[in-house]
Structure 1
């Protein structure tokens, strides 16, 4: 393994055993990733549309369960293979076909990065009563500054999360206790909410859609863990507990204060300094993971190991997009990701568990087609199912893509076996005929 691969976090190869870590470093990174303001915005959107108990609680639990089980499957693949999500996609979609998943995953992460850079600037201007002229400079400062830990690599993400995650958990707990008090106790909170314009399917799509793009790329981190427990346990904890907690916090904020952001809630509660700290940590721990994901996808797209350069280029692109108004497009963006991203993971899981029987061949020795047509067809069918089949679009997309890939793979195997049997019969017949002569 080259020194460059080690320094750049192995963007085009498997992580070796000597660079694997344990449960808590990756868990803290993933919790920092899922503790994100956008998730609370989504929670607020559904929090005003449903009664908190039992309707909203069941939606949050169901959506978080769908998301976490999906992500855990992909997390296991990352641990088992040592490969990033986009390297697994090379098996599922072919050497050239996998560039489609690179582009889709990379662009979604740039969108999230742009939204985060704009959010912290806009909210700070509002909270601190700064002039509107501060927005653009702050977007540029945060857009470029938040990529620094991702520039370092997975070790930089882990170092920040060790500090940020406990601090955010403490602040959420304090704010939650105050909110319950202000909302009239648990009885008043449980009755909060009312019928709104969202359907249950739309609400579940928002819950899953908040982190389905980032979750699809979870192998970018679990490839660094050394056990099944660390890979699966860290993803379940982060995407069920972490994502669910942020959704619930947003819903409570909307129900009690009419606000969707916990930072503004902390200000209303008289905790402005804590709110500013929360905003900073909340955004940074997700921004660095987001741009790290982009760098891994970008390296694979361009087949380069210069991940740090790609990280900085992505931060510049995200900052420009933030300046162009990404802040106002959150909910449609989340719904779109809930439709088009999950089928990617469905195909990757089917390819790994069904076609490769849970074990990839060595990437450098694998004879990969330019385009894996059954993978691309399964992805297209999964996206179509997410768009038109009634139910929960992300779940529809995952299941349809997985099942179609498995079906097409079975057909391919049966045809191959039939061809071999036919050839064997022909050879045997030929041999018998020659013997008779």
Structure 2
């Protein structure tokens, strides 16, 4: 029997003899020689979460809580999100695999198609929403009324994002490296103007809530901003040189970066009654800077989205290249935006966000139970891992019930239920018969 090894270690020897088909290794472990330094990984993940639409979630919170209670809500929600994504990121770094490929080991080679369809399909929908948003906000800024003008912007922006995603990790790194500091500088300047608007920090703290929201709903809002996208953190953390690097990069991106965007949106809503800093810049007469913030921010975030459905497509159809699926998904997403469907997708895609986090919960728990010592070299997953699929179905149902009855935090309930049930069943029944022989060889 072969011994258990890190998949990246096993792959690095076999792939060193020749160039890989795709330098981003969409369906195979990232070998050690292709891993990236911590700074590079942190830049990519921070660029992923510095996302202006997240401000709209912050805007909803900003008018519902006093400042210090708001800070507690943001800290709690960001901590939950950060811990979950850091765990997913750790799995990605240890295995060298994307989320959808890791799902092969947790759900089986056929069962993993559920993950590819859910994650890839949802990301294509969000891609279309963002493309449509770019077209609408650009037309609003420049006073364009014609459909042709909006459509031209959508197509041009989509081509730019598609090319960036086709370049893979390297393309997203350079875009994030250039745009993220500029976006943060603009955001900090708007915060400074916001403080002037209310008489400084003391004035901001003294503003009283104008609406009401429960603490549970508020924390759910914070967690929900990026929990679905965070489930795909392994797409990038698989390039980390160690599990600890992946964890800290996720903390920077999803706890710090996402938390800042929510806080910025809350401050904008309190002071200018508008959570989106792009629209605040428009209202201040700074249309040019507003467009810079709009394009710079959504360019890198949507390129990450295109990359995510590219690697999901490669897994779904078992192809070694992501580029055809990046291009195909971008075409579909752009078509959705051009037909105006993006205006009706947001609620539906948000609902899907309830069903995605339990996938991550099963993958995390399955890794901890079965793969901590590494995936055995040459191991072939079984076609369907029915037990883990059943756990996912139960956890997703509990998360959905939580949302329907407004009890608890749906994404958190889905994740915790998936982890707890997976570990419980593994402790009671052990490995499945298909894995038992492999498991004994790794001890």
**Structure 1 length normalisation: TM-score?**
0.90
- Alpha-carbon distance in 1 for matches of 2:124, 2:335: 10
Question: Which piece of structure 1 moves more, 187-196 or 11-20?
Answer: 187-196
Residue 377, structure 1, aligned to residue 390, structure 2: yes
Give the deviation of 1:282 after TM superposition. Answer: 0.6
Q: Which residue of 2 aligns with 1:67?
A: 81
Which of 64, 68, 90 is matched with 2:104 structurally? 90
Runs of 4+ in 1 over 4 A off after TM superposition: none
Distance 1:323 1:342, change over 3 A: same
- Alpha-carbon distance in 2 for matches of 1:309, 1:331: 26
Q: Which residue of 2 aligns with 1:430?
A: none
Q: Please, what is the CA RMSD of the aligned residues?
A: 2.1
Q: Which residue of 1 aligns with 2:125?
A: 111
Which of 416, 421, 442 is matched with 1:404 structurally? 421
| Structure 2 contact 129–346 (Cα < 8 Å) conserved | no
Alignment of 1:182-331 (within 5 A): 182-192=197-207, 194=209, 196=211, 198-329=213-344
Give the deviation of 1:197 after TM superposition. Answer: 5.6
- Alpha-carbon distance in 2 for matches of 1:273, 1:350: 48
Residue 40, structure 1, aligned to residue 45, structure 2: no
Residue 18, structure 1, aligned to residue 33, structure 2: yes
Q: Which runs of 5+ in 2 are unaligned?
A: 1-14, 438-443
- Name the SS of the counterpart of 2:391 in structure 1: helix
| Structure 1 contact 92–375 (Cα < 8 Å) conserved | yes
- Alpha-carbon distance in 1 for matches of 2:245, 2:370: 25
- Alpha-carbon distance in 2 for matches of 1:368, 1:414: 13
Q: Which residue of 1 aligns with 2:90?
A: 76
Give the deviation of 1:309 after TM superposition. Answer: 1.1
Please give the per-residue CA displacement for 1:51-73, whole angstroms capped at 9, x wherever unaligned.
24233222211111111110000
| Structure 2 contact 194–267 (Cα < 8 Å) conserved | yes
- Alpha-carbon distance in 2 for matches of 1:208, 1:330: 20
Question: Which piece of structure 1 moves more, 6-15 or 401-410?
Answer: 6-15
Q: Which runs of 5+ in 1 are unaligned?
A: 421-437
- Alpha-carbon distance in 2 for matches of 1:103, 1:206: 25
- Name the SS of the counterpart of 1:147 in structure 2: helix
| Structure 1 contact 4–305 (Cα < 8 Å) conserved | no
Please give the per-residue CA displacement for 1:200-233, whole angstroms capped at 9, x wherever unaligned.
3332222222211211111111111112332111
- Alpha-carbon distance in 2 for matches of 1:147, 1:415: 41
- Larger Rg over CA atoms: 1
- Name the SS of the counterpart of 1:7 in structure 2: coil
- Alpha-carbon distance in 1 for matches of 2:92, 2:297: 26
- Alpha-carbon distance in 2 for matches of 1:162, 1:296: 22
Q: Which residue of 2 aligns with 1:386?
A: 399
- Alpha-carbon distance in 2 for matches of 1:100, 1:163: 36
| Structure 2 contact 235–308 (Cα < 8 Å) conserved | yes
Give the deviation of 1:276 after TM superposition. Answer: 1.1
Residue 176, structure 1, aligned to residue 177, structure 2: no
Q: Which residue of 2 aligns with 1:435?
A: none
**Structure 2 length normalisation: TM-score?**
0.89
Give the deviation of 1:31 after TM superposition. Answer: 1.1
| Structure 1 contact 74–219 (Cα < 8 Å) conserved | yes
| Structure 2 contact 122–349 (Cα < 8 Å) conserved | no
